[in-house]
A and B are shown apart, each in its own frame.
Chain A
Amino acid sequence: GAGVSQSPSNKVTEKGKDVELRCDPISGHTALYWYRQSLGQGLEFLIYFQGNSAPDKSGLPSDRFSAERTGGSVSTLTIQRTQQEDSAVYLCASSLIPDEQFFGPGTRLTVL
């Protein structure tokens, strides 16, 4: 596609529910990244994929967070039993080479 797309753009959920966030990277980009941005903060790295494998999961904040990538393309970030502190904008990026990452518009998650 023309750019990185993410869905949904906004998600409101109740505490304790599971959510799935989707990222469609730029076609041909082998690397995919998930970041989280809390209100007024910088970006916090969550996980990185090279192809379908995730060599770096160091940023996942807890075992409630998981992510997968299939076919070297679409990625899904799943948050189980959501908590209010999970409220943030979740940003996905992709790259062909490590230097420049192209970001999607993000998913704004609100946990009530």
Chain B
Amino acid sequence: SQQGEEDPQALSIQEGENATMNCSYKTSINNLQWYRQNSGRGLVHLILIRSNEREKHSGRLRVTLDTSKKSSSLLITASRAADTASYFCATGTNSGYALNFGKGTSLLVTP
């Protein structure tokens, strides 16, 4: 079953602007991950944040996690046209290896 839910469903910005996507989930987690998907095919792992972490950076990506609110955000700074893709959050739990994915945010970055 899908646990994560991304917001907004779609986001359109211009190159150079920042893009913020949010994810909410329902049950306790061990970690939360963000993936990118281009053209509806394979997913690329972007970043993982553990339940005892609050913020993590990787290049132009910044992820925050608030376990009390069961929410996470992904910030992409100085966006580029190549960032156009769908972004999914996925939660991992202690009870299994399967990831629970949300429905994703579709990001469009226009030149």
Contact = CB atoms under 8 A, between A and B. Distances in A.
Contact of B98 (A37, A42, A56, A100): A56
B88 A102 contact: no
A21 to B, nearest CB: 14
Interface in A41-99: 41-45, 48, 50, 56, 59, 89, 91, 93, 95, 98-99
B42 A43 contact: no
A44 B1 CA distance: 7
B32 to A, nearest CB: 11
Interface in B52-79: none
B42 A98 contact: no
B97 A31 contact: yes
A41 B103 contact: yes
Contacts of B104: 42
A40 B31 CA distance: 25
Contact of A100 (B2, B4, B33, B103): B33
Contacts of A45: 98-101
B41 A106 contact: yes
14 contacts: A4-B42, A33-B97, A42-B4, A42-B101, A43-B90, A44-B2, A45-B98, A45-B99, A48-B97, A48-B98, A56-B97, A91-B43, A98-B92, A100-B45
Interface of B: 2, 4, 31, 33, 35, 40-45, 48, 88, 90, 92, 96-104
Given A45-B98, A98-B97, A100-B45, 6 more contacts: A42-B102, A50-B97, A56-B96, A91-B42, A99-B33, A100-B48
